[in-house]
Structure 1
Amino acid sequence: MPRSRLFEPLHLGRLQLANRIMVGPMCQYSAEDGCMSDWHLIHLGQLALSGAALLVIETTAVSREGRISHADVGLWNDRTQAAIALTLESIRRWSDIPIAIELSHAGRKASMDVPWRGGMQRPPGRERGWQAKAPSSLSCRPGQIAPKALDRFDLQRIREGFAKAAMRASRAGIDAVQINIAQGYLLHQFLSPLTNQRADRYGGSLPGRMRFPLEVFDQVRNAFPASRPIFAHLCASDDVEVGWTLEQALILAKELEARGCSAIQVSSGGIQPRDSAPAERENLESLARALKAAVAVPVAMTSPLTGYQQVEALVSQGTADLIAMTHTLLNAPRWPWLAAHSLGGRVWMPVQYTHGRAGLFWKR
């Protein structure tokens, strides 16, 4: 059987991964005042045993007002830091999987209800609702209360919030930080002309719209230990006319690489509500290939594919270096074990489970 590229090791900065499968960040909306709960131990614990090479903690707010919902995980004070540290301590008794965290600010997408209650905006003054802030006073949907435009004091607080969250992540034992510059959240909102209509130095031209995300990246890079990598989750296209484009994303990707970014996860859309299209996966693969051709650092992409050979082909054919799996692993948490068995790779599994397996893909 030909050697599997999916199960070859990969370096992200100084962090060595055993294979090319990453557990992508998946919001659980189950935190209590920003603190991880027992649910996160159950959820992350099973994924830490999956055989994937990297586990990324869900989008984590750097401030209370930066949460998507009242039930988001946060990292803005001692209590939220302690909750993450406790969860990691339990997981690491049984798994040595490297663990990263995605830091984010929701911007105009803040103060929403949890998805299973409709996910609609909870206006200021209502229970568990607050005033959202964004680059410009433009609401996500008709009928919603518009966010307040950020002033220079807000910008300073947010930059400091990202830096302090990175320091807290380091103290909690996190191995890497991923900055969310995608999915229509705050840093992506600065990039897109659809959501950034500022007249100051943080709007207008491409350098102006890139300025704040790059300042945040620099603050996080300076705050997090130099020996641990910083990644970027980057939107490569708004997928709408007159929005953020691939050509602009490639310029930003090169800037991030020059500033010390160790890997880039590519996604698209999110700036405006839209229906999923059948061609979305092919479009994302095209964006990943373009990004991979533009930068030297590894490129990750989220894939909904479940076929072992299909996912293998994404790596072996050069579409991406790392595959971020989300819903696939929710439905099949041991997918990497089965993929390794099918493709002739080797993957870690806990010793407690080895007596029930043939051992073909057990890696000590």
Structure 2
Amino acid sequence: MSIALTSTARPNSTQQEPLRVMVVDDSVVIRGLISRWIAAEPDMVVAASLRTGLDAVNQIERINPDVAVLDIEMPELDGISALPLLLAKKRNLIIIMASTLTRRNAEISFKALSLGASDYIPKPESTREATAAETFHHDLIQKIRSLGAKVRRSATAPASPPLAPSLDRSPRLPPAPVAQPQLLRRAFSHQAPRALLIGSSTGGPQALMALVAEIGAVIDRFPVLITQHMPPTFTTILAEHLARASHRPAHEAIDGEIVKPGTIYLAPGGRHMRVVRHGAETAIALDDGPPVNFCKPAVDPLFTSAIDVWQGGVLAVVLTGMGSDGMRGGKEIVAAGGSVIAQDEASSVVWGMPGAAANAGICAAILPLNQIASKLVRVFSGDRS
């Protein structure tokens, strides 16, 4: 999860109608708080503030929201039960699941992603914490704005298959959209890659699940390290899903452990993950330092640390996500002789992180999600054309 304390550019209200946001939460305090935040934004409006999922399902056609912020635990009809009913009535509705940081709620949030939710956001544990939760405030507003803009753009474009695969079985990739040829590409490094690094944020869990299911040949021979913007508990469960999708070991990285081929290492929520030399081997180094790019864990610390260990033998992939995390680290990887691949805009939930890398001119390839795995297998097998 990206914890962004700066807002994305706000559209001019004269160019389009404000985003209509439906807030669904059984807590009157949380409903009021979120509604006030939305009402304070010039490009958003509170379309409705409702207490239960049943209210939302019964009224969605009249309310016609662009985005719904949907609580998980509610009376009459909970969020996970309301989710498919809401999407059945409005297929392109952006749904952001909101839940407190418990393992049960994290599991439910992952299930919601497989059922069509666009994203999730952890809520503060109590209403007292919520009133002071600046990160919750800014992260929620950024998610609403970025995801809402995406659905409005797609409303005028040809229909495309849904991106989100099931998180309970090996995902199937959609047919390939056309990659963007107009952006500057660099040649792939002539150095053989010795490690695969992946950074992702919004939409990342779905993209990661699809990707690791198809790169077993890479995982078996090279270490794979992933930073996904996510809080604690959520990363624990993501690692379990990655293990199931890839049929390979995957776990939250442990400080000091030796990095080996055949394993997926995931940055744990709330800690930056780096790699360091440990004699002739490579070890994980976790730290509790301040956020980088307003994120913790952040992608840039992993990317830049890998240069000291593998020099130019690094291949980095930047997947869907808000912000620009990974772009600076990607620049350093390329300067050291490595290569960067970015996910293309059409297949990204939000083209922030990969777009920043692509527009910086550091990418050797900008590809749809379902073409990245096959490219990685070829590159790690020696084809660097």
Return the TM-score normalized by structure 1: 0.30
Return the TM-score normalized by structure 2: 0.29
| Larger strand percent | 2
Greater RCO (CA < 8 Å, at least 6 residues apart): 1
